[in-house]
Structure 1
């Protein structure tokens, strides 16, 4: 993961409407009242307490008629949201060391356990992952017994092999400029996924950069329009494959 694009951004403000609970031994934010459909929102590096992601979860709960979970997959470690707009804090934050503490090998068993718990409770379950969370969605998508559909938003740490293994409907939301979901992996996904025999929704955002859908600046029209379109695209995808 490259440093600055994953650590910078804007806090949207607002007050999340859900509650905090636990699922599969992980603390989680829960919002929504659906008994038939759930969404697992897998967070970026700012973790399960990140206000922007909780606000997105509230939106998905309402617009996609789902109960949405934002579980803690960083073992209680929380990065201050002030890091996004504080250059000194961004510089001090060691992203490679953080990713090492939260590697795929360490975190995927927890993520899988939460997905299993949701699937035991809800007839239909989807997952959406932002930045760090995207690779986990791809891995979940290799097992239809765990998940019914996945959405990957400006993904990080994703591999061709993870794309190859997907067996459920998949959505990819990709900005024009992204050092993580690179032009090479974007081209690979756009070629490979249609060959897998699963529904594929590719949503492209010209003029935007990595992080826009979770940390974009709502005061800039192009970024506000992009993050609103990203929300609508995810809701449409959930409504199609959860109901």
Structure 2
């Protein structure tokens, strides 16, 4: 499965993030919140750890779910030019998504994503750790929550990309899916598979469906469009309530 153009469109949000830039292990990271017992790891989308939208979302989670949120850089310092966000600009060099994913494949990035979760769970003393993955990060949080990996207590994902059936089959922690009506990444086949295997997983699961919305809405929705604004706020509230339930 590959990523598609829906992963590289959207809108920038206004606002000033409240957290600070520091490190988590070997990775630079944006950190916000002050809870010493509960943490959330965000695995970002293609736009990476510096995207204002992702940092503003992290602030919301920290404040509303009372957790410390870590948003590390999982792309080795590469930051996608924000001019690529939205309609193509005249004369702009097109963004080569295929090459980007080649540089940031699952095999390449999985070790550092696991190292970040391990640091939170086993070195920094958090009693509970949750993870949320957006688009690109969707596959990663499922792997963190797989059988035998005691690194997270719950996961959430909004419009996951690169997710495969075996990753759904292997999940072993409460998991939440935030799914828009139109999403070439989370196909009908994947949705059908989810509902088919859910009873055998014997896990608490929350499937949130957002009619009228498209892939990317939870992190790159247009806040000037009432339908998109209501949807992205509802997606944020869903994740907050999930974290409150499982991390406290």
Q: If the length of structure 2 is used for normalisation, what is the TM-score? A: 0.95
Asked if 1:228 is matched to 2:230, the reply is no
Asked if 1:213 is matched to 2:215, the reply is no
Match for 1:102 among 89, 104, 120? Answer: 104
Name the structure 1 match of 2:17.
16
Q: Distance in 2 between the 1:224 and 1:213 partners?
A: 9
Alignment of 1:90-129 (within 5 A): 92-120=94-122, 121=124, 122-129=126-133
Alignment of 1:91-240 (within 5 A): 92-120=94-122, 121=124, 122-142=126-146, 143-240=148-245
Stretches of structure 1 that go unaligned for 5 or more consecutive residues are none
Q: Distance in 2 between the 1:41 and 1:54 partners?
A: 10
Q: Distance in 1 between the 2:185 and 2:128 partners?
A: 30
CA apart distance, 1:194:
3.3
Q: Distance in 1 between the 2:76 and 2:199 partners?
A: 36
CA apart distance, 1:91:
6.3
Q: Distance in 2 between the 1:62 and 1:200 partners?
A: 24
CA contact (8 A) 2:3 2:162 kept: no
CA apart distance, 1:90:
7.7
Stretches of structure 2 that go unaligned for 5 or more consecutive residues are none
Name which of structure 1's ranges 137-146 and 70-79 shifts more when overlaid on structure 2: 137-146
Q: Distance in 2 between the 1:86 and 1:15 partners?
A: 24
Name which of structure 1's ranges 181-190 and 51-60 shifts more when overlaid on structure 2: 181-190
CA apart distance, 1:212:
0.3
Q: Distance in 2 between the 1:123 and 1:144 partners?
A: 16
CA contact (8 A) 1:4 1:90 kept: no
Q: Work out the number of aligned pairs and report it.
A: 243
Q: Distance in 1 between the 2:60 and 2:92 partners?
A: 29
